Amino acid sequence: MAAVIFGQVVSLLAKILIAHAFGTGMESDAFFTANRFSEILFNLVAGGALGSAFIPTLTGLLTKDDRKGAWRLASALANWVMLIMAGLALLSAIFANEVVRYILAPAFSTNNPAEAALTVELLRIQLPSAVIFGLSGLVMGILNAHQSFLFPALAPSMYSTGLIIGAVILAPVYGIYGLAAGVVLGALLHLGLQVPTLVRLPARRYLFTLGLRFPQVSQVARLMAPRLLGVAITQLNFLVNTNLASAMSAGSLTGISLAFPVMYMPLAAIAQSVAVAALPTFSEQAARGRLDEMRASLAASLRGVLLLAVPASLGLILLRKPIVALLYQRGEFTADSTELVAWALLFYALGLVAFSIVEIVSRAFYALQDTKTPVLVGVGAMSLNLVFSLAFTAIFRQIAWAPHGGLALANSLATYLEAFALLYLMRRRLGGLHGLTILSGLGQAALAALAMGGVVAVWMGMANNAPVAILALGGVAAGAGIYALVLVLLGGSEVRQISGILQRRLLK
């Protein structure tokens, strides 16, 4: 979790420097649009779909102490990923004009041909990063299956370091093209950080094979197929959001692109770090048939995540403007830009709890080697997201609200529906979820968050004219302090566990 938090801090620093250099104008819109397509290619082939199928299968081989088979599987998948990603990147470079014109941002071609041409150039520069990330994502899965989490968790900070180099060193010389080159550099650093740990793994070996007759390769393909459909639907939503935002007022696309990372920072620290560490444990418990242990592990994970996600969501909602201003408002990023980003952040922050639940429960399904259920639920939720996106943007326009906020609200509402459905199905699958334990944790979080919200509201009224750093950081400190105090007074099990850990360490 500490590594993930560090990575998110560096990522946020990169976004701050990008906002300082390019604001919310045409160049930044073109960059984020091009960057979105590279991310889509990676996620479709080697992102969450492959990891959710690969890690449980590899963990199963390692549990049986079949290291030869494990490395044969890893080698075959590495070769497949490189072949497919390189082919897709090459085709995308050749047809980059068509990709921008018909898929990413048709409005650019219609309303601003210069912006469309810039997007094409930036897309071609960034495409190699998708190939590099494909291999790096697989390495991350190998390390996680071996219960190695530190360097995979630090790897995203290396990608952000590449962006920082692009924004600070390359952009002053090459403009927005330097930032695009920083994307490729960041991908190389992302992979390079993990390689030393990879080569030290026991019985490591690489085989030049596609594993066509190796049953575990087929197993990964079978498990990956339904998950791939879910990822495709998710990426389609991102495309629709990019498409819709590109037709809105200037800066709308950059607004949602900069708001989501602010919400994603606590999401990654709270839920994704727990989910990544829990997946191999869930997988081992499932492989040994110990579903009672898995049920207890899942309930404990959910309870702990809710205790952190609830106050984080409320804090972002209440402090959204000073936080955005503190992070981004300097250089080309004006007060109007702050309003654009804070408006989207309001609606993304509403969904933080749901995003956190989905991260944990979906990993439990993957550990059971069931990729179909979360995918079907995700397809339904993301299909609704498409409908919500169109509906909310139209409603927001009717009531004179900035329509890009409707895209964020649609995403949050669809994610809540997805979270409730996954919880219901997992409860049936495991014969229960220790529901009273989870609900008691949620109740404690709600009471403490209510007290926190009152304190933050009072602080904002008192410090309204203070410098933005004091307003934002003071609000965070006051809110966190009162939240922790109320939890201590309520005497939750997590408080007792933390107290016990600290006492044991102090007595050593």
Q: Quick: pLDDT tens for 250-289.
A: 778 888 888 988 898 888 888 877 887 787 788 888 878 8
Per-residue pLDDT at 236 exceeds 90: no
So what's the pLDDT on residue 24?
A: 72
Residues 6+ apart with CB under 8 A from 427: 433, 435
**154-to-131, 161, 249 alpha-carbon distances in Å:** 20, 11, 36
Q: What distance in Å separates the CA atoms of residue 364 and residue 360, rounded to the nearest whole number?
A: 7
The per-residue pLDDT for range 400-434, each reduced to its tens digit, is: 899 999 999 999 999 999 999 999 999 988 888 87
pLDDT computed for residue 128 by the predictor: 93
Mean pLDDT value of segment 127-145: 88
**In the prediction, which pLDDT does 423 show?**
93
Tally DSSP H helices, then E strands, for the chain.
22, 0
- pTM value? 0.72
Q: Tokens for 411?
A: 């995403």
Residue that the structure tokens 């087929």 belong to? 218
Query: Considering the chain, what percentage of its residues have pLDDT values greater than 70?
Result: 93
Would you say 115 and 108 are in contact if contact means Cβ atoms under 8 Å apart?
yes
Smallest CA-to-CA distance from 364 within 435, 438, 441, 423 is with 423
Q: At what angle do helices 273-287 and 291-318 cross, to 10 degrees?
A: 170
Q: Indicate if the pLDDT at residue 227 is higher than 70.
A: no
Look at residues 264, 272, 360, 371 and name the one whose alpha carbon lies nearest to residue 313: 264
| 438-442: long-range pairs with CB below 8 Å, 24+ | 438/299, 438/302, 438/303, 438/306, 441/302, 441/303, 441/304, 441/306, 441/307, 441/492, 441/494, 442/303, 442/306, 442/310
Span 322-334, pLDDT tens digits: 999 998 888 778 8
Per mean pLDDT, which range of 11-20, 315-324, 401-410 is the poorest? 11-20
pLDDT of 503 reads: 65
**What pLDDT does residue 191 have?**
93
The per-residue pLDDT for 502 is 62
**pLDDT at residue 343 greater than cutoff 80:** yes
pLDDT of the residue at 230: 67
User: What is the pLDDT at residue 51?
Assistant: 64
Tens of pLDDT, residue by residue over 448-479, are 999 999 999 999 999 888 889 999 999 999 99
Residue 52 — very low, low, confident or very high, per pLDDT cuts 50/70/90?
low
**pLDDT tens digits along 363-391:** 888 888 887 888 889 888 888 988 999 99
- The one-letter code for the residue type at 322 is P
* Residue range 89-120, pLDDT digits in tens: 999 999 999 988 888 888 787 778 888 999 99
